A and B are shown apart, each in its own frame.
Chain A
Amino acid sequence: MLFGQPKEGLEMTKKMILVDTSKCTGCKACSAACKEWNDLPAEKTTLVKSYQSMKDFTPNTYTYITFEEKYENSKLQWLFRKAQCFHCSEPACLKACTSNAISKTDYGFVVIDREKCIGCGYCVENCPFSVPKVDKVANKASKCTGCTDRVENDLKPACVSICQPGALDYGDMDAMMDKAKKRLAEVQKKYPMANLYGEKEMGGTTYKYILLDVPKAYGLTANVSAPLSLTLWKDLIRPVGTWAMGGAAAAVLVGVLTNAVKGNYKKDPIADQSEPEKGGKH
């Protein structure tokens, strides 16, 4: 089978990947499989904290596992979370993209067309999870592709296919949601704080998580949505502004909002941390 050519006769339905952190052992095989399949070079690292070896995504690292050690009442929880692009239903990156390089496939994966990408970085600034990264040399943004070259050929994404403990599961969105809810009810018996992350966030995401603790314990924010500035800019001001406003007023407003979109008003680190709409570091 040739990769890159969609297999004929495949049904184009929305897909979902369930990351069941109750089964994840933090073995990082998903990271290795991702690098192998996408032919990404290894990076020089040192341990960041616990067994975590990556601080953030890079142009060459689309996925990594976060390790949180939570010790309370003489009980320890070692929380592992596979981080990668969530592949949002309402992707802020797509909306922010100035060159129509970002699109959503019929399966629900959000992909960047490197041919069209001009490396402007708007996707980077507007992703509430800070996922895409721009390679400064090639001047192209990159991130998890959802292994579209695999899924369009009826293969599971590389990370899913390698997962030995069965923490990653892939299938049609409806069936997977069903599975996720049943599994969540099961997991909540042991972890009362367990929740399904990605159901409401960003209009619903392709990668959804059964988290054992509140999203905050993983460095995530619940109910995250696209930055307000971006929504204003793309959905309201720009379409209206281009025909209703004229001259200087429009120019000023566009200037302010462009800066907001580019993140130029977010330099204050304290303000950064308290931003309610941010999805967290990862």
Chain B
Amino acid sequence: MSPSFGRGAMTNSWSDLQNSECFLIAGSNCAENHPIAMRWINKAKEKGAKVIVVDPRFTRTASQADIFAQIRPGADIAYLGAIIKHIIDNKLYDADYVSNYTNALVKINKDFKFDSGLFSGFDAKTKKYNMDSWAYQLDDQKKPVKAASFDDPDSVFSKLKEHFSRYTFETAENISGIPAAKIKEIADTFCSAKPATILYALGMTQHTTAVQGIRCYAIIQLLLGNVGKAGGGINALRGEPNVQGSTDMANLYNNLPGYLPAPNHTDKTLRDYLVHNGSFQQKHIVSMLKAWFGEKATKDNDYCFGYMPKFNSGVNASMARVWDLVNKGQFKMVINIGSNSLVSIPNRAVVRQGLAKLDMLVVADLFETETAQFWREPGVNPADIKTEVIFLPAAFVYEKDGSLTNSSRWIQWKDAAIKPLGDAKPDLDILDLLYKRVKKLYEGSTDPKDEPIFNARWDYGEEPKAIKVLQELGGYDETTGKVLPTLADYLKAPVGAVSSGCWIYAGVTGNGNLAAKRKNDDPSGLGLFRNWSFAWPGNIRILYNRASCDANGQPVDSKRKLVWWDAANQVWAGNDGADVVDKTKGPDTPEGKQAFRMNPEGIGRLFAAKYTSGMPATPPADGLPPIGIRPAGVCNDGPIPEFYEPVESPTENILHPQVSSNPAVVMPATLPEVQKVGKKQDFPYVLTTYGVTEHFCAGGITRNIPVLNELMPEPFAEISKNLAKKIGLNDGDKVELSSARGKVQVRCLVTDRIQSYKVNGKETETIGMPWSWGFASLSPGPSANELTIGVIDPTAGTPEYKCCLVNLRRA
């Protein structure tokens, strides 16, 4: 989403789902994993909205669908590509929207090519792309050149048209297993409804083509003019109550809070960082450093930029890959908070072996999770393990104050309902104790490398208060020490005069604790609820809502008016806060035209071009590298989505057999004996893994709650009746599933909800298995991640949990 729209967040909100006329739910089993979604979807359905569900299995969500299509896991881009082709061929796109608010007319560098599965610039040795040819044609002011019409052969629109011309409904059927007629029915239904929205979650992201699948969604929604509108957008459903919050706080290894890029090993100074990341980041990184180091961060000492750890840009340290590094001996100690890695990481043998190589493991959790007692796993001999394991009892969500940021970007404050049991402590208290203890241990040190520990601003109180943390995120005026009233005050202040621990949260504690607001009035009836909590950025409820207006700044949908240009008062007014550069700049100004202000071009990106805005026309006189304003987000595996087979696939890629799977995917090879890739001859069936509503993620909590164990007592292998017949299995029989990496035994669930299907003319079978179990807890069971493959998407780093190859036999 970030390379398309400029922000990596769900565009609309839960309560906005009621405004939609049509839902494409693909890569999400929201009835199962986000039950609250169904409340709002059902409201829309009552008004006549249609629901389309595409999934490898007939799920609880599918039970609510008007149209259901069973897809082969990992084949999404094939049918989505066919929908894009259908939109272009039949001119179903919103021509005004596409010309005004997307880069459809911008001309692409003449060196850009796509041939036999590879984009221009591929280096076969490093498996990386040089993206220079994925750029715009620039004028002498370094501004993108626009074509006069969509038909210009250099235009983004023409590139899209050409690229997707190969994706006929028939080709899509051959790849995905969805009948061509059904794909057409989906396309017709979705394209004829306005506004229409797309819902996705991990079913779409846990592939080696994760980012490109979401890019297809972005292209479809931009072409149809559905982004920025009530009832439209792309709703990336966040699987945990605070996933959005944790991503905002930089849970991705290459981010800093507020989605600032993390500095890498070449960024020796703040200037180097700005050369890479643009001057736009200067304010934000400096205010973050001011939040971290307070008055110690000054212009003269580069705002303590030197204190920051830098990551090596050649090393992928995403969650799945960190365990490779642990196995290589690069870490002596792991502190594991809020994760049950031994259950949740793909090809979990890598975690099992890695944990045994550590000197020390610290786990903070509610229950003694599998990770915390890895040395007790059946088959592991505790005597062989030297790792010292320390378990810290953590408080549960209801036992601590703090905020949760939901999928709608609402920062919602809550007070603790009860005191933690026994010695359990909130995470904040655990980290506070840890920091204070470490600081004490370093007392008296004169080593410059220890300076960050002494110079940190750590002022959450004797007993740390979560509200102090939220205030730090919301920001302070560093000259007066007062909390910043609003995002506007933050943006107006000069660099270095304000602090904010996470700039997108600026103003959240400005006029009282806005996250604690609980007025549920909804004057517009659009489910905006602007007096309930605080949504980043600046309490805007629907992102990119400038695009809900025409070129004159007036709403195109009279039933769902979000914002509009109030000419009398010369201001962007509306039911929602306007997502514009400057509320006083009208639709006739360059700023007032921008619907996607977080993209350097200010427009939506059908083609994810390499581009930095504001580059000087002539190089700086001092000979230093120039600093632009902002580089655009790019995808490491191509500017336009292309279908690639999963790394373990039951078939060949019929579009380009010589480049079958994603060429930019790097195979993990730290532990060759367990990091293996299976062949379809040995492992003929496709395995897909998922959660069930009764258990939460890796089950560390829910498998210790007896009622939930009663409701979903065991993991299982879901198989089609055909496959059961072929192997001679009855419902409930015990089976063994095996992959190139491991095997598990579970009972089989024989069902009509998975059907055999044809891929490239060959009968194919999908097997499903929920992944929430492990050897410990009140409800122990085999982990599906014994089987899965640890390959990751080259841009996002998400592992391919959703498809690998397995064999099945009676156990």
Contacts and interface: CB of A to CB of B under 8 A. Distances in A.
B711 A53 contact: yes
A27 B693 contact: yes
A25 B711 contact: no
Given A27-B693, A71-B752, A76-B753, A165 B35 contact: yes
Contact of B749 (A31, A35, A42, A47): A47
B240 interface: no
Given A28-B693, A49-B731, A76-B58, A23 B38 contact: yes
A182 to B, nearest CB: 11
Contacts of B31: 25-27, 165
A97 to B, nearest CB: 29
Contacts of A242: none
Contacts of A49: 731
Interface string B750-793: 01110000000000000000000000000000000000000000
Contacts of B709: 42, 45
A45 to B, nearest CB: 5
Interface in A64-79: 69, 71, 76-78
Contacts of A69: 751-753
B132 to A, nearest CB: 49
A44 interface: yes
A107 B687 CA distance: 51
B170 interface: no
Interface stretch (B73-81, B366-374, B657-665, B712-720): B712-720
A51 interface: yes
Interface stretch (B59-67, B340-348, B582-590): B59-67
Contact of A28 (B63, B711, B714, B751): B711
A166 B46 CA distance: 11
B710 A45 contact: yes
A36 B711 CA distance: 13
A26 B63 CA distance: 9
A28 B60 contact: no
A42 B710 contact: yes
Contact of A51 (B46, B61, B712, B752): B712
Given A46-B714, A47-B716, A47-B749, A164 B60 contact: no
Contacts of A115: none
Contacts of A32: 707-708, 711
Given A32-B711, A45-B713, A49-B731, A23 B42 contact: yes
Interface in A14-64: 23, 25-29, 31-32, 35-36, 41-47, 49-51, 53-54
Interface string B701-741: 00000111111111010000000000000011000000000
Contacts of B707: 31-32, 35-36, 42
A102 B441 CA distance: 70
A186 interface: yes
Contact of A46 (B58, B60, B713, B751): B713
Contacts of B66: 190
B752 A25 contact: no
B747 A26 contact: no
Interface size class of A (residues with CB under 8 A): 20 to 34
Given A26-B63, A47-B747, A53 B712 contact: yes
**Would you call the interface of chain A mostly helix, strand, loop, or mixed?**
loop
A31 B63 CA distance: 20
B158 to A, nearest CB: 40
Contacts of A26: 31, 60, 63
A80 interface: yes
B399 interface: no
B272 interface: no
A67 to B, nearest CB: 10
Contacts of A43: 710
B81 to A, nearest CB: 25
B694 interface: yes
B690 to A, nearest CB: 13
B36 interface: yes
B46 A27 contact: no
Interface string A149-168: 00000000000000011100
Contact of A25 (B35, B714, B716): B35
Interface string A250-271: 0000000000000000000000
B706 A42 contact: yes
Nearest to A24: B63
A165 B710 contact: no
A31 B731 contact: no
B591 interface: no
Contacts of B710: 35, 42-45, 53-54
B706 A41 contact: yes
B39 interface: yes
Nearest to A42: B706
Contacts of A46: 713-714, 747
B267 interface: no
B304 to A, nearest CB: 47
B61 to A, nearest CB: 7
A248 to B, nearest CB: 52
B713 A53 contact: yes
Contact of A165 (B42, B714, B716, B731): B42
A84 to B, nearest CB: 15
Contacts of B694: 28
Contact of B32 (A27, A35, A45): A27
A66 B353 CA distance: 42
Contacts of B692: 51
B731 A25 contact: no
Contacts of A25: 31-32, 35, 38, 60-61, 63-64
A26 B693 CA distance: 9
A42 B712 CA distance: 12
B713 A166 contact: no
Nearest to A35: B707
B343 to A, nearest CB: 20
Contacts of B36: 164
B758 to A, nearest CB: 14
A23 B42 CA distance: 7
A184 to B, nearest CB: 13
B712 A186 contact: no
B24 to A, nearest CB: 18
The 8 closest A-B pairs by CB, nearest first: A42-B706, A25-B31, A165-B38, A71-B752, A78-B63, A164-B35, A42-B710, A42-B707
Given A41-B706, A42-B710, 6 more contacts: A25-B38, A42-B707, A80-B63, A165-B38, A186-B46, A190-B66
11 contacts: A23-B64, A25-B32, A25-B35, A35-B710, A42-B707, A45-B711, A46-B713, A47-B713, A53-B712, A53-B713, A69-B753
Interface of A: 23, 25-29, 31-32, 35-36, 41-47, 49-51, 53-54, 69, 71, 76-78, 80, 164-166, 186, 190
